[in-house]
């Protein structure tokens, strides 16, 4: 069973398909291992028991479509995606005890395709953070070194996949929340085009940028999950999913013939770039050139203002979206002297510091006196960034940059300095501002040292045109092949497997 | 940062920060404002916002009053959405 735990989802579905292994047998083994590994990683707010995990899950493969799907593979689900009859908290005290009466569309589609939910993964409260330290419950640890953060906000999902607690996980990505933890944990993290997956049942943070994403140990596994979840949804008017077979697409390198790649100048040399990140980016570019890809430098000057623009828009939308948490409809409830005081008491006690900071900043930039100077200006900059990225992607097929300017940092190292924390998102936010697809792939390790005998992982970010999801996944798989980089089992997990 | 402005924002956002947290919060909030202020480097370069080009009328920065003050035990009576013209 040890080998099976570290298998890719593609291999598992193939084994389930020919009857060499039963999904029930695998779920049992996977859950057992997840529980064993959990004290070191703390990836989950809750690991489900077998009955809960299988609630509403189809017991035979969905043969309605021709596309290969993810039948039988257990999925970790970020705890800001609604799961019917299973508590969903978004890692916030204000939602403690909230049990949704319905599944998010992406969760429903996975269950209908036979995928049990192994557990609800930890996150920064409402997705607001880059380290998973902003969870109201506990911080998640990086499987490469438990003294380091796993990235965020989908840090629980990334740590679960990297520590072999789940083969595939769902996350959400508003400004890099799937790609950044994927880079810090040494796995693949995909943020599809805005609109490729339904957001129905995803607890809203910043609706114009929120997108469900996938974390896995290979690009092929990401494509299998996307095949399962990518479907039109009348419950989300922004959902424009098509019928492309993404798993078939990633096997087809012919569609990459003549592809050109642009290295984004402004994202490749950001302030505070760590030397191993820079070295691995250069090695990735060399590998592409050796494989015959035309790689050139492109400039997107407004990337320099992307972070400020992102933090104005996300806080504005968050302050509006989070106005619904008043202690009446969901979760925490307190009796105040009157209704108004009850609202204030619940929100003050229920929200954590980072959420309160963002609500206040959002309230400020939306207030009558400052709307024009901040919110409207940020929306104008957003349009200009999108136009500059479109222009760059008219010249080349893909843009590349590091996913994070730094290696994973220490727990507690940035928690008291919000600006320093925000700077970690500098390479990823442009993708969300422009609604484009982006993926982070393992692209090597830092040099080994006495504390990290295999080094620490770094990530390469690839960006493509909107709705070019099939091509970006094909290019990602091509990169996996030419670079030889991919998922590596962290030493701490190897020890657990050996027990 | 100006304490009156900060109190006004807390009031609009329906938050009340305990005295012990206030100073730290205000200091970090002032840093955040300095950070987002950089967006004004784009001033005067023109262009339209990504969505909703038209001017939106701004409501006054005042918390709206609650209009359901009637209580029935622990519950609040919510006014009818449709007026049936009793």
Q: Is B39's CB within 8 Å of A308's CB?
A: yes
Sheet strands (E) in A44-131: 44-47, 75-78, 117-121
Name which of B10, B36, B45 is nearest A374 (Cβ-Cβ).
Answer: B36
Q: Is residue B19 part of a domain?
A: yes
Residue of B1, B35, B39 to mutate, interface with A, max A Cβ within 10 Å:
B39
For residue A153, indicate whether it is catalytic. Answer: yes
**pLDDT tens digits, B43-80:** 656 566 666 556 667 778 887 766 656 666 666 666 66
For residue B40, what pLDDT is reported?
86
Chain A: give the shortest CA distance to residue B84, in Å. Answer: 26
Q: Is residue B74 part of a domain?
A: no
Q: What is the mean pLDDT of residues A102-116?
A: 96
Residue of A128, A312, A363, A435 to mutate, interface with B, max B Cβ within 10 Å:
A363
For residue A3, what pLDDT is reported?
86
Residue of B35, B45, B58 to mutate, interface with A, max A Cβ within 10 Å:
B35
- Contact (Cβ atoms closer than 8 angstroms) between residue A383 and residue B49: yes
- Residue the block writes with tokens 């590998």: A287
For residue A143, what pLDDT is reported?
98
For residue A283, what pLDDT is reported?
98
Q: Is residue B29 part of a domain?
A: yes
* Structure ipTM: 0.87
> Which residues of chain A make contact with B21, given a CB cutoff of 8 A?
353
Chain A: give the shortest CA distance to residue B82, in Å. Answer: 21
**A402 Cβ contact list (under 8 Å, min separation 6):** A183, A267, A268, A273, A277, A278, A280, A281, A427, A458, A459, A460, A461
**A249 Cβ contact list (under 8 Å, min separation 6):** A223, A255, A470, A471, A473, A474
Strands ordered across the beta sheet of A75-78: A44-47, A117-121, A75-78, A168-172, A212-216, A188-191, A438-445, A457-463, A398-402, A260-264, A294-298
Name which of A345, A357, A378 is nearest B28 (Cβ-Cβ).
Answer: A357
- Tell whether the model's pLDDT for residue A493 goes beyond 70: yes
Top-confidence range, A67-71, A312-316, B73-77: A312-316
Q: Is residue B60 part of a domain?
A: no
**How confident is the prediction for chain A on average, in pLDDT?**
95
Q: Is A344's CB within 8 Å of B16's CB?
A: yes
Q: Is A383's CB within 8 Å of B36's CB?
A: no
- Tell whether the model's pLDDT for residue A33 goes beyond 80: yes
- Tell whether the model's pLDDT for residue A280 goes beyond 60: yes
For residue B50, what pLDDT is reported?
62
- Tell whether the model's pLDDT for residue A499 goes beyond 90: no
- Tell whether the model's pLDDT for residue A405 goes beyond 70: yes
Q: Is residue B9 part of a domain?
A: yes
Q: What is the mean pLDDT of residues A247-255?
A: 90
Q: Which residue of A has its CA nearest to B31?
A: A419
Chain B: give the shortest CA distance to residue A146, in Å. Answer: 28
What is the domain range of residue B6?
1-43
Nearest to A150 by CA among A41, A273, A278: A41
For residue A159, what pLDDT is reported?
98
Q: Is A343's CB within 8 Å of B41's CB?
A: no
- Residue A27: which pLDDT band, with cuts at 50, 70 and 90? very high
Name which of A357, A360, A382 is nearest B50 (Cβ-Cβ).
Answer: A382
Nearest to A246 by CA among A82, A472, A427: A472
- Contact (Cβ atoms closer than 8 angstroms) between residue A240 and residue A195: yes
Q: Is residue B16 part of a domain?
A: yes
Q: What is the mean pLDDT of residues A350-367?
A: 95
CA gap B17, B32 in Å, rounded: 17
For residue A177, indicate whether it is catalytic. Answer: yes
A 105-164 → B contacts, CB under 8 A: none
Q: What is the mean pLDDT of residues A69-84?
A: 96
**pLDDT tens digits, B16-48:** 998 888 888 899 999 999 999 999 887 656 566
- Tell whether the model's pLDDT for residue A336 goes beyond 90: no
Q: Is residue B8 part of a domain?
A: yes
For residue B58, what pLDDT is reported?
72
For residue B45, what pLDDT is reported?
61
pLDDT higher at A213 or B20: A213
For residue A161, what pLDDT is reported?
98
Catalytic residue among A131, A153, A154, A446: A153
Q: Is A305's CB within 8 Å of B38's CB?
A: yes
> Which residues of chain B make contact with A384, given a CB cutoff of 8 A?
42, 45, 47
- Please give the helix or strand (H or E) that residue A395 lies within, else none: helix A377-395
For residue B55, what pLDDT is reported?
64
| Mutual angle of helices A219-229 and A9-17, in 10-degree steps | 60
For residue B47, what pLDDT is reported?
64
Chain B: give the shortest CA distance to residue A131, in Å. Answer: 18
Which residues, in sequence order, are bridge partners of residue B75?
B72
- Tell whether the model's pLDDT for residue A208 goes beyond 70: yes
Q: Which residue of B has its CA nearest to A378?
A: B39
Q: What is the mean pLDDT of residues A194-202?
A: 98
Residue of A302, A303, A334, A379 to mutate, interface with B, max B Cβ within 10 Å:
A379
For residue A134, what pLDDT is reported?
98
Question: Per the structure, how many domains does chain B have?
Answer: 1
A 364-383 → B contacts, CB under 8 A: 364-365, 367-369, 371, 373-374, 376-383
pLDDT higher at A149 or B65: A149
- Residue A94: which pLDDT band, with cuts at 50, 70 and 90? very high
For residue B66, what pLDDT is reported?
63
- Tell whether the model's pLDDT for residue A65 goes beyond 80: no
Q: Is A339's CB within 8 Å of B76's CB?
A: yes
Q: What is the mean pLDDT of residues A212-239?
A: 96
- Tell whether the model's pLDDT for residue A286 goes beyond 70: yes
Ordered by where they begin, the domains of chain A are 2-263+389-498 (3.90.1300.10)
Q: Is B48's CB within 8 Å of A308's CB?
A: no
**The two three-digit tokens of residue B43, written as one number:** 């001033």
Task: Compute CA distances A441 → A40, A385, A433, A453, B29, whole Å.
Answer: 24, 24, 21, 21, 35
Q: What is the mean pLDDT of residues A424-437?
A: 97
- Tell whether the model's pLDDT for residue B2 goes beyond 90: no
Judged by average pLDDT, the poorest of A140-154, A324-338, A459-473 is A324-338
CA gap A94, A384 in Å, rounded: 37
Q: What is the mean pLDDT of residues A276-303?
A: 96
Q: Is residue B48 part of a domain?
A: no
């Amino acid at each position: 069973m040890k080998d099976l735990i570290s298998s890719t989802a593609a291999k598992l579905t193939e084994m389930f398909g020919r009857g060499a292994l039963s999904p029930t047998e695998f779920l049992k083994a996977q859950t057992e291992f997840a529980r064993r590994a959990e004290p070191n990683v703390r990836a989950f707010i809750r690991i489900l028991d077998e009955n809960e995990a299988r609630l509403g899950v189809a017991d035979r493969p969905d043969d309605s479509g021709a596309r290969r799907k993810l039948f039988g593979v257990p999925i970790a689900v970020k705890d800001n995606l609604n799961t019917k009859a299973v508590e969903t908290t978004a890692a916030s005290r204000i939602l403690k005890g909230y049990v949704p009466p319905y599944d998010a569309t992406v969760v429903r589609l996975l269950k209908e395709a036979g995928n049990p939910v192994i557990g609800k993964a930890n996150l920064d409260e409402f997705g607001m953070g880059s380290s998973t330290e902003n969870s109201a419950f506990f911080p998640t640890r990086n499987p490469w070194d438990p003294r380091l953060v796993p990235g965020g906000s989908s840090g629980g999902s990334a740590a679960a996949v990297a520590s072999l607690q789940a083969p595939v996980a769902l996350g959400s990505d508003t400004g890099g929340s799937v790609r950044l933890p994927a880079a810090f944990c040494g796995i693949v993290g995909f943020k599809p085009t805005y609109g490729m997956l339904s957001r129905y049942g995803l607890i809203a943070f910043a609706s114009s940028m929120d997108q469900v994403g996938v974390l896995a140990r290979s690009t092929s596994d990401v494509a299998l999950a996307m095949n399962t979840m990518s479907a039109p949804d009348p419950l989300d008017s922004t959902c424009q999913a098509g019928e492309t077979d993404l798993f078939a697409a990633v096997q087809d390198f012919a569609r990459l013939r003549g592809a050109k790649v642009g290295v984004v100048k402004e994202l490749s040399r950001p302030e505070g770039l760590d030397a191993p990140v820079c070295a691995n980016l250069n090695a990735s570019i060399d590998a592409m050139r050796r494989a015959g890809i035309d790689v050139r430098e492109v400039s997107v000057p407004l990337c320099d203002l992307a972070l400020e623009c992102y933090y104005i828009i996300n806080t504005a939308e968050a302050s509006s979206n989070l106005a619904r948490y008043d202690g009446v409809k969901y979760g925490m409830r307190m009796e105040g002297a009157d209704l108004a005081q009850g609202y204030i008491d619940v929100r003050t006690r229920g929200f954590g510091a980072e959420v309160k900071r963002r609500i206040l900043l959002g309230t400020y930039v939306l207030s009558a006196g400052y709307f024009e100077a901040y919110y409207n200006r940020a929306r104008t900059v957003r349009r200009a960034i999108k136009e500059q990225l479109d222009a760059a992607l008219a010249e080349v097929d893909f843009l590349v940059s590091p996913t994070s300017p730094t290696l994973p940092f220490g727990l507690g190292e940035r928690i008291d300095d919000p600006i320093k924390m925000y700077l970690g998102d500098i390479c990823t936010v442009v993708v969300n501002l422009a609604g484009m697809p982006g993926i982070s792939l393992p692209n090597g390790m830092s040099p080994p040292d006495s504390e990290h005998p295999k080094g620490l992982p770094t990530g390469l970010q690839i960006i493509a045109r909107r709705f070019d999801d099939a091509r970006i996944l094909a290019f990602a798989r091509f990169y996996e092949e030419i670079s030889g980089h991919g998922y590596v089992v962290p030493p701490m997990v190897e020890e657990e497997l050996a027990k | 940062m100006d304490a009156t402005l900060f109190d006004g924002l807390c009031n609009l956002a329906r938050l009340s920060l305990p005295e012990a947290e206030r100073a730290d919060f205000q200091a970090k909030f002032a840093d955040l404002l300095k950070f987002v202020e950089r967006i004004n480097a784009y001033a005067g370069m023109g262009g339209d916002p990504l969505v909703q080009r038209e001017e939106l009328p701004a409501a006054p920065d005042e918390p709206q009053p609650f209009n359901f003050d009637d209580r029935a035990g622990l519950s609040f009576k919510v006014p009818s959405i449709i007026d049936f013209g009793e």
